[in-house]
Structure 1
Amino acid sequence: MPGKKGRKDAELEFRNTALADALQTQDMAAVAFALRHGPTVVPLLRVGDRDNPLDSGEVWTYRDPDSGDIALLLFSDAAHKPETLPPGVALQSPAWLRAFLQAHSDRITTVFFDIAGPHPMQATPADLLAALGL
């Protein structure tokens, strides 16, 4: 079945191996390097329109029902995204992550990487912006 193999191969591309390795060692300098030089898997509430390259979809964020704090969840691999999150994902560039954090850093209180494991890590938007060179 050629269709299934092609779909499986496409799923395998939704990862950043350097980021996964950095998270395994909990090395913030290595995480910063991986974020500056590779993509990040981002969960989407709404997937973008394939016919419109300017439509990258709508990023899913978590709002704590008690405090109202908003968290951005990022993943080193789409396979690490919990099934309970919306099914869509995007592979976003370092420039996209920088722009997104700059635009929303006043509302996002924390960023979680691979929140369900295998090696979760947490940072503030300001820490990530500094890691991305801002």
Structure 2
Amino acid sequence: MAGKKKVKRAGPERFRNTQLADALQTQDMAAVAFALRHGPTVVPLMRPGHRDNPLDVGEVWTYRDPKTGDVALLLFSDAAHKPATLPPGVALQAPDWLRAFLGAHEDEITTVFFDIAGPHPLQAAPADLIAALDA
């Protein structure tokens, strides 16, 4: 078929923020804040967004501790760092989306984990991330 190109979809291997991964490696909170303000974050999804509706970002997956009821938001610097035990869907979300999501759910989310399974995990309070995104 001359003239037709096969379109390649972006796979999970393209879902990453190298600057965030570097900041997590050094555990430098100022660098993490900068990376969050200027780059995307990989977010696990329970349900991916509908392809024909760009406003549908899907349903974000959160972890609720069955003993305490505490809710954790898990974020990743790279889709490759997401444990296979989590739902398979991911989204690459912009800083303004992360700020809006944290603001809307700040009273429900008790903690945020970055790259929880490694290689360089980090834990932060939602209020601290909101402050970093607003700086």
Q: Which has the higher helix share?
A: 1
Tell me what 2:103 maps to.
102
Cα drift, residue 67 of structure 1: 0.3
For 1:39-54, list aligned pairs within 5 A. 39-54=40-55
Of all paired residues, the percent bearing the same amino acid is 79
Structure 2 unaligned runs (5+)? Answer: none
Match of 2:28, as an amino acid?
D
**Aligned equivalents of 1:44 and 1:59: distance in 2?**
4
Unaligned 5+ runs, structure 1: none
Contact kept? 2:12, 2:90, Cα under 8 Å: no
Structure 1 segments of 4+ aligned residues over 3 angstroms from their partners: none
Return the offset for 1:6.
3.3
- State the number of aligned residues: 131
TM-score (norm. length: structure 2): 0.92
Q: Who is 1:6 aligned against?
A: 8
For 1:127, the equivalent position in structure 2 comes to 128
**Which structure is larger by alpha-carbon Rg, 1 or 2?**
2
- Equivalent-residue separation in structure 1 for 2:76 and 2:100 (angstroms): 17
Matched AA of 1:126: A
